[in-house]
A and B are shown apart, each in its own frame.
Chain A
């Protein structure tokens, strides 16, 4: 009986502690200044299928690389990043095209503000470029980054972000409409008493065609998708441990063609 009471009291104390801990507002911040170098791995998988009345074909591509980050003085949430160890698998691309992509990505240098969830190229010439059949490393990093709230927040707190992105394609220009709704899902402590926050988000992305497309190609592809994202933030050490998204453009019939498209992107800190 005494043991039972003792266990019950311990359980109540733990629950109370956990409850109180979750109610305490916390600041979701990232501070890279404690190390001179940070290393993340990025993996990107894309796949889709195209169906006509009598045929179905699928396509896929995946890319992996490491991202080497150095803190920016005076901006603790920001890293200068360069890509390394790039590998690409895409059956639709020739060896020369894959080699070109690897060489371009290995040259990539950009700045990531994890606090704001934004990315800019260190090479001012590079960002406005249009990619043709190419892996857009910047875009994939930007997709997987959460936007963090400025003030202190409690478990269950939600915040939103809306972005418009100009898009240039060879068939005409368009605007991408991104809407993200973030929630602080939970706060927990690991075995070393490091407090970790889990943030999740839902997002929708739609494409609005802006210019007349005489080829008719833009009307062949679906223009809406939605997805889920999640991120683990080490609150004790102020670092982003992991972030991932899953994006899905559901099978949509456009004229004679039905297309579906899926993306999985994951960013993981290497210890």
Chain B
């Protein structure tokens, strides 16, 4: 193709794919101590380089409305934890966690390690977690509002909840979920689309709540209480 058309093609690409010409907005290329929430705005891309450790000094969170890319390597993982928290600790959560919020948000996480978070929340989004570790969190991954994260080759251990699906359908393949209080917790209206996973040696491997209709058990009550809190 004649080179004179390249600028035109570029303009069309930018118009059709707004993120086409966009360089990463923020890059974390060295270890970072964070004392405020980190927000990835809609249409922005934040990138974390291999080997970086992100430590939270306060009870903060990472909120993703745009795109967060954290691709570590086998020998240079990316770690999200708290300042001063011993590796592998099962102490109480010391930071809130990751929040990937909404249809327009996305995340790509490879060789990442999540420690000491209260909850890593996936809301109506389909991020990818590949070869990651979730250790000593209250909730390793909490998937809700039809979220369908792709969780592949990850390890979940020493969490209170390994994975929670709450009205969501996570895709689980080749994961090891062990040594958690509850390995996989399926709340009402949820299921996981599963390939080969090892879900064993948890206090409860898989807990599935029954349907709501006519049920006045604690889970159903809690679900209604949460919904009323959200609406009123």
The residues of A with any CB-CB pair to B shorter than 8 Å are 46, 48, 50, 52-53, 55-57, 59, 61, 92, 96, 99-100, 103-104, 106-107, 123-126, 128-136, 167-171, 174, 176, 205, 207, 214-215, 217-218, 220-221, 223, 225, 247, 249, 255-257, 259, 261, 263
Contacts and interface: CB of A to CB of B under 8 A. Distances in A.
23 contacts: A52-B216, A61-B225, A92-B221, A92-B225, A96-B92, A103-B59, A104-B96, A125-B37, A125-B63, A126-B37, A128-B101, A132-B121, A169-B227, A170-B145, A171-B145, A205-B232, A207-B231, A207-B232, A217-B212, A218-B227, A221-B224, A257-B213, A259-B228
Contacts of B227: 169, 171, 217-218, 220-221
A271 to B, nearest CB: 31
A255 to B, nearest CB: 7
B118 interface: yes
A261 to B, nearest CB: 5
B138 A100 contact: yes
B39 A50 contact: no
B214 interface: yes
A100 B96 CA distance: 8
Contacts of B58: 107
List the 6 closest pairs (A to B, CB-CB), nearest first. A125-B39, A170-B145, A215-B189, A133-B226, A103-B59, A169-B230
A129 B101 contact: yes
Nearest to A125: B39
A220 B212 contact: yes
A191 to B, nearest CB: 39
B197 interface: no
A55 B222 contact: no
Given A207-B231, A221-B231, A259-B228, A96 B93 contact: yes
Nearest to A130: B123
Nearest to A209: B231
A218 B212 CA distance: 12
Interface in B199-232: 212-214, 216, 218, 220-232
Contacts of A261: 228, 232
A255 B213 contact: yes
Contacts of A96: 92-93, 118, 138, 160
B188 interface: yes
Contacts of B138: 96, 100
B63 A256 contact: no
Contacts of B167: 170-171, 215, 217
Given A53-B214, A130-B230, 7 more contacts: A50-B224, A129-B63, A132-B142, A167-B230, A217-B227, A256-B213, A263-B232
A218 to B, nearest CB: 8
A131 B220 CA distance: 18
Contacts of A53: 214
Nearest to A207: B231
B49 to A, nearest CB: 23
Contacts of A217: 167, 188-189, 212, 223, 227
Contact of A123 (B37, B93, B121, B189): B37
Contacts of B92: 96, 99
Nearest to B168: A170
Nearest to B95: A103
B144 interface: yes
A163 to B, nearest CB: 14
A263 B228 CA distance: 11
B166 interface: yes
B213 A59 contact: no
Contact of B214 (A52, A129, A130, A133): A52
B59 A104 contact: yes
B225 A48 contact: yes
Contacts of A174: 231
Contacts of A220: 212, 224, 227
A131 to B, nearest CB: 7
A261 B216 CA distance: 16
A53 to B, nearest CB: 8
A164 to B, nearest CB: 14
A225 B158 CA distance: 43
B78 interface: no
A225 B220 CA distance: 22
B99 interface: yes
Given A96-B93, A170-B166, A215-B189, A107 B59 contact: yes
A218 B226 CA distance: 12
A69 B138 CA distance: 33
B150 to A, nearest CB: 20
